Amino acid sequence: MLTLFHHPVCPHSRFVRLALGEYGLQVRLVGERVWERREDFLILNAAGTIPVLITEGIPPAPGASIIAEYLDEVYGSDLGDRRLLPHATNLRIEVRRLTSWFNDKFFADVSGPVTKERYRQYMPLEAGGGSPDHAVLHEVRQMILPDHLAYISSLLSKHEWLASDQLTYADLAGAAHLSVAAEYLRDMPWGKDATVKTWYARIQSRPSFQSMLTEAWRGFVRQRT
């Protein structure tokens, strides 16, 4: 069985979990508090970041993009026309571009700051814990997120899904990062155009998403001391 070191509110971890679910793969989940910098975990990934996928007999796969590529190489052909990284070169480039946009740009602007403010109150002070900065959350909700949602809407005006007319890694990455923002910000600035909200609801309804809807993430963190 595969083992995934993750954190339930880490959007990169959620992306990988969605991918694993779409592949129909069984995985053992291990909650990792990266700020503790456990020696055993650092042996698996010297960068000290999550997610990390462990497969018996091969080196650990660290990071969402590396894991996604590994899963496509090993299991992608099993999905046939539903492959999450399509066969056509131009589509593969576009899927990688959009997946990177969510995992890098969207994370830096939206899901990263939201995640940090969400659980820093449960972290030790020496690890960066403290009270949430509501000014940061307000700026994300009011000033940054609307433009990002407008860009996603523009993508959906061209295709049924983000990169093409089939579900790809780009959609899973987008849903993973949006899920973090939606859960914490609550009042999402979806705007008058319901396109993005409808697309997100479609992914939420997929079996791969179900385990994350009811997950009690507080069980993976410790109260500050």
**Beta strands in the chain, from DSSP E residues, in sequence order:** 2-6, 27-31, 52-54, 61-62
Q: Cβ of 113: how many Cβ atoms within 10 Å?
A: 18
Q: Which is it for strands 52-54 and 27-31: parallel, antiparallel or unpaired? A: unpaired
Q: 105 and 170 in one domain?
A: yes
Beta bridge partners of 29: 4
**Whether 75 and 151 share a structural domain:** no
Lateral strand order in the sheet of 27-31: 27-31, 2-6, 52-54, 61-62
- pLDDT tens-digit series, residues 155-201: 999 999 999 999 999 999 999 999 999 888 877 888 778 999 999 99
Residues 160 and 202 occupy one common structural domain: yes
Domain match, 94 and 193 both? yes
The domain boundary residue, chosen from 52, 82, 112: 82
Band (129; pLDDT cuts 50, 70, 90): low
Separation between Cα atoms, residue 137 and residue 116, nearest integer Å: 10
Considering the domain architecture, whether residues 75 and 157 belong to the same structural domain is answered as no
What is the number of structural domains in the chain?
2
CATH classification at residue 58: 3.40.30.10
pLDDT of 222 higher than 70: no
Asked if the structure places residue 220 within a domain, the reply is no
For residue 153, the enclosing domain spans: 89-207
Q: What is the pLDDT of residues 21-31, one digit of tens each?
A: 999 999 999 99
Q: What is the mean pLDDT of the chain?
A: 89
Domain check: are 174 and 67 in the same one? no
Distance in angstroms (rounded) separating the CA atoms of residues 194 and 20: 28
Domain-located, residue 182: yes
Q: Is residue 56 part of a domain?
A: yes
Residue 175: partners with Cβ closer than 8 Å, 6 or more residues away = 18, 200, 203, 204, 209
> Could you tell me the pTM of the whole model?
0.91
What gap in Å lies between CA 51 and CA 4, rounded to an integer? 7
What is the pLDDT at residue 219? 43
Residue 166, helix vs strand vs coil: coil
What span, in angstroms and rounded, lies between the C-alpha atoms of 34 and 61? Answer: 16
Q: Is there a domain that residue 214 lies in?
A: no
Name the phi and psi angles at 193, rounded to 5: -80, 120
Q: What's 154's domain CATH number?
A: 1.20.1050.10
Same domain as 76, residue 26? yes
